[in-house]
């Protein structure tokens, strides 16, 4: 299905449309969507003025012209007899949502920004689906959101507009014939990425006490588990078949002894500057730390249980910031 189009509009300039889109994008990405943002109803572009290279390229007949750098691109092109938005939508057909700033006359669904210092009623009369405002007493027939309630607005969009258009995600570790493959990340830019994972190992109260005292025959349980976690992080590319070997920039391992729950909670944070994330490294570090604790203590407690290993947070990459809901 083509991407959903939503216009972010307001009565006038400097009302906060750009700020709203800027805050909304990472919230939508964190929910698994692929998002684009456009400036609507623009009559000319600096990069496309007569005499500029891009103008000359399109005049010569290029279907699209633009400018590129190592990690950025800008495209322009002719659309005679067609809608510029229609052309862009066809280029961005693999995305889930396109946010368009401006164009109050559009027939797309609209979200209007209403600032009390500028207006007290919406100016949109067609296809208004929500308002974002600093007016606490505004009475309106559509849902109302505070100016900085990006999570609430993102959830609304997911539930109301995108329920028939779920994010299109393929299992990238399989090729078109269904055979396993390592994903090619060579075209991705190198960015700073971080992942944090946690897990738990449940044990008898006496076992936890001996770990705390350091009185086990095999020595410092948590010290050995910490080293094991770091070793596992560095070996993840060898342990997980389709994971990429990565130049790990940093790793932190923490243990939280919780006598009230008879458990040791394990936290692992991993950082890298690279072309793919370190979620698997963080999860592997937690897993091996828990297994090491089990190995060190199994002589006195074979009923220990490793559980609840999960990703808590990740940063960087195309999907941006994601954090597990509490």
Q: Please state whether beta strands 191-202 and 305-315 pair in parallel, antiparallel, or not at all (unpaired).
A: antiparallel
Angstrom distance (rounded) from CA 52 to CA 117: 40
Using a 10 angstrom Cβ sphere, with 0-12 exposed, 13-18 middle and 19 or more buried, the burial of residue 326 is exposed
Dist CA 1 CA 140 (whole Å): 32
Please, what's the b/e burial string for 71-93 (b: 16 or more CB within 10 A of its CB; e: otherwise)? eeeeebbbeeeeeebebbbeebe
Q: Is the dihedral of CA 154, 159, 164, 170 positive or negative?
A: positive
Helix (H) or strand (E) holding 240: none
Which candidate in 148, 149, 295, 301 is catalytic?
295
Residue 271: which H helix or E strand, with range?
Answer: strand 263-274
Tell me which residue of 102, 98, 85 sits closest to 17, measured CA to CA: 102
Is 295 considered catalytic here?
yes
How far from the centroid of its chain's Cα atoms is residue 1's Cα? Answer: 22
Backbone φ, ψ for residue 40 (5° rounding): -95, 155
CA angle 11, 17, 323 (to 5 degrees): 150
Catalytic site positions: 295
């Amino acid at each position: 299905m083509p991407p959903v189009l939503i216009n972010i509009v307001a009565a006038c300039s400097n009302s906060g449309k750009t700020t709203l889109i800027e805050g909304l994008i990472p919230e939508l990405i964190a929910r698994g969507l692929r998002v684009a943002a456009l400036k609507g109803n623009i009559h000319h572009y600096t990069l496309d003025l007569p005499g500029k290279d891009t103008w000359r390229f399109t005049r010569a007949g290029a279907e699209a012209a633009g400018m590129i750098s190592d990690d950025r691109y800008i495209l322009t092109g002719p659309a005679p007899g067609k809608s510029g938005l229609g052309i862009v939508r066809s280029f961005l057909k693999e995305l889930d949502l396109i946010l368009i700033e401006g164009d109050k006359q559009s027939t797309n669904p609209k979200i209007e920004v209403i600032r009390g210092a500028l207006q007290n009623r919406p100016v949109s009369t067609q296809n208004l689906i929500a308002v974002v405002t600093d007016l606490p007493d505004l009475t309106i027939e559509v849902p109302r959101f505070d100016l900085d309630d990006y999570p609430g607005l993102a959830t609304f969009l997911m539930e109301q507009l995108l329920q028939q258009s779920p994010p299109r995600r393929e299992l990238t570790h399989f090729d078109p014939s269904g055979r396993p493959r390592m994903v090619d990340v060579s075209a991705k830019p190198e960015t700073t990425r971080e992942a944090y994972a946690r897990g738990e190992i449940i044990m008898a109260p006496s076992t936890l006490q001996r770990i705390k005292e350091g009185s086990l025959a095999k020595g410092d349980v948590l010290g050995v588990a910490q080293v094991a976690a770091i070793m596992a992080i560095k070996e993840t590319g060898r342990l997980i078949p389709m994971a990429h070997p990565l130049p790990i920039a940093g790793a932190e391992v923490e243990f939280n002894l919780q006598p009230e729950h008879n458990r040791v909670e394990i936290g692992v944070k991993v950082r890298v500057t690279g072309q793919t994330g370190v979620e698997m490294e963080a999860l592997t570090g937690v897993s091996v730390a828990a297994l090491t604790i089990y190995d060190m203590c199994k002589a006195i407690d074979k009923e220990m249980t490793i559980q609840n290993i999960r990703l808590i947070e990740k940063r960087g990459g195309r999907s941006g910031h994601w954090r597990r809901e509490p």
